[in-house]
């Protein structure tokens, strides 16, 4: 009871500051919705916020690593609690919501169980993807700690081993392992250095040139590859710590866990919105991006908006939902997009 009251009080104090604060720049400005989801989260156990997704009927799915209730489902508009369930995953980390054969399903990674699970939106388990033993890249399952799943409309999967050995593992639609790349494989930029491939996404907006975008976390950069693992280019985000890549129409969201992470694990972090060319059009919880001679200068957070934004998504109206790691007072935030003149 005391912990619940403390959570509510801390959330209330944070909301007082948020009420009058406008975040971001240009066409992408936001305000934290005061108290959104506070009562719902006070009813469940939340360890760390890891990922968020909105389904086709406007429900928000919030992933936590508390094995008593891995998935908390809220009404995205009101923040009311709809239900919660457990997948019995103590290391739940990455969650991808996709439409497959006419229905929506979830893929969830677990860094502690060293596997990926596929589930219905109600928590029924459909399949498991164990450690990729056939790859020959691991001596034991414990070396494999998957962080994110990418899903192609044709059913293909890519699993990032972001906390293990930094490989990308490709799977056929039937779940058969195909090949692995990244990590220490290949030459030069085709390799992925340690604490690199944390999150990312498939950019299929140009059908003639599909790309895999990898948020390289502690490397302070984003790298782009072909879908078969050939390096295309990389884009630096100095001062940031890219944790994920989420497409939002013609723009994309990149949450930065902490601008001095991991050197300073109390660094608060921020979120960048980038255009199709990966130029920052708005920094949320940070000063505007500064480009000098076309070169992005080191960024920093405002020190008060976020505490380790780990995952982010947007609803149909452009509002943002942010899952925060190691943030007991505010593991989940909603940011309302502001319309009209500045």
Report mean pLDDT in 10-residue bins for the chain, 342 residues.
46 49 97 96 94 98 96 98 97 97 96 98 98 98 98 97 98 97 97 95 97 95 98 97 97 91 83 98 98 97 95 97 94 94 61
Beta-strand pair 199-203/167-171:
unpaired
Q: Which two tokens stand for residue 273?
A: 């919105």
CA distance 109 to 84: 18
Give the list of residues 6+ apart from residue 17 with CB closer than 8 angstroms, or none.
304
Residue 341 has a pLDDT of 58
Residue 66's alpha-carbon distances to 11, 21, 137, in angstroms, are 20, 31, 30
CA distances 152 to 28, 47, 134, 158, Å, are 28, 30, 22, 9
For residue 3, the model assigns a pLDDT of 46
Across-strand partners of 302? none
Residue 41 has a pLDDT of 95
Residues 15 and 311: their CA atoms lie apart, in Å, by 20
Specify the pLDDT at position 55. Answer: 98
Which helix or strand (DSSP H or E) is residue 3 part of?
helix 2-18
- pTM recorded for the entire structure: 0.93
pLDDT for position 7: 45
Please tell me the predicted confidence (pLDDT) of residue 198: 96
pLDDT of residue 5: 45
59 vs 97: CA distance, rounded Å: 12
| pLDDT number for residue 265 | 77
Q: What gap in Å lies between CA 307 and CA 270, rounded to an integer? A: 8
């Amino acid at each position: 009871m005391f912990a619940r009251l403390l959570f509510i009080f801390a959330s209330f104090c944070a909301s007082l500051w948020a009420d009058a604060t406008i975040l971001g720049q240009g066409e992408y400005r936001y305000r934290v919705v005061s108290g959104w989801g506070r009562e719902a989260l006070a009813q469940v156990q939340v360890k760390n916020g890891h990922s968020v997704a909105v389904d086709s009927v406007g429900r928000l799915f919030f992933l936590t690593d508390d094995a008593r209730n891995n998935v908390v489902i809220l009404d995205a508009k009101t923040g009311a609690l709809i239900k919660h369930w457990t997948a019995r995953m103590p290391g739940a980390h990455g969650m991808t919501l996709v439409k497959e054969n006419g229905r929506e399903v979830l893929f969830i990674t677990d860094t502690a169980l060293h596997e990926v699970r596929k589930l219905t939106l109600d928590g029924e388990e459909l399949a498991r993807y164990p450690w990729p033993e056939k790859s020959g890249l691991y001596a034991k399952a414990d070396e494999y700690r998957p962080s994110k799943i990418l899903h192609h409309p044709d059913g293909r999967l890519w699993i990032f081993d972001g906390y293990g050995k930094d490989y990308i593992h490709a799977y056929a639609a039937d779940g058969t392992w195909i090949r692995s790349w990244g990590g220490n494989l290949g030459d030069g930029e085709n390799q992925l250095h340690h604490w690199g491939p944390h999150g990312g996404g498939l950019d299929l907006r140009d059908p003639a040139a599909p790309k895999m975008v990898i948020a390289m976390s502690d490397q302070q950069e984003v790298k782009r590859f072909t879908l078969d693992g050939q390096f295309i280019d990389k884009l630096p985000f100095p001062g940031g710590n890219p944790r994920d890549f989420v497409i939002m129409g013609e723009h994309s969201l990149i949450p930065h866990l902490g601008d001095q992470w991991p050197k300073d694990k109390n660094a608060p972090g921020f979120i960048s919105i980038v255009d199709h060319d990966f130029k920052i059009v708005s920094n949320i919880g940070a000063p505007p991006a500064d480009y000098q001679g076309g070169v992005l200068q080191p960024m920093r957070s405002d020190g008060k908006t976020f505490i380790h934004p780990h995952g982010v998504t947007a609803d149909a109206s452009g509002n943002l939902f942010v899952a925060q790691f190691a943030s007991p007072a505010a593991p989940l935030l909603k940011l309302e997009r502001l319309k009209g003149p500045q």
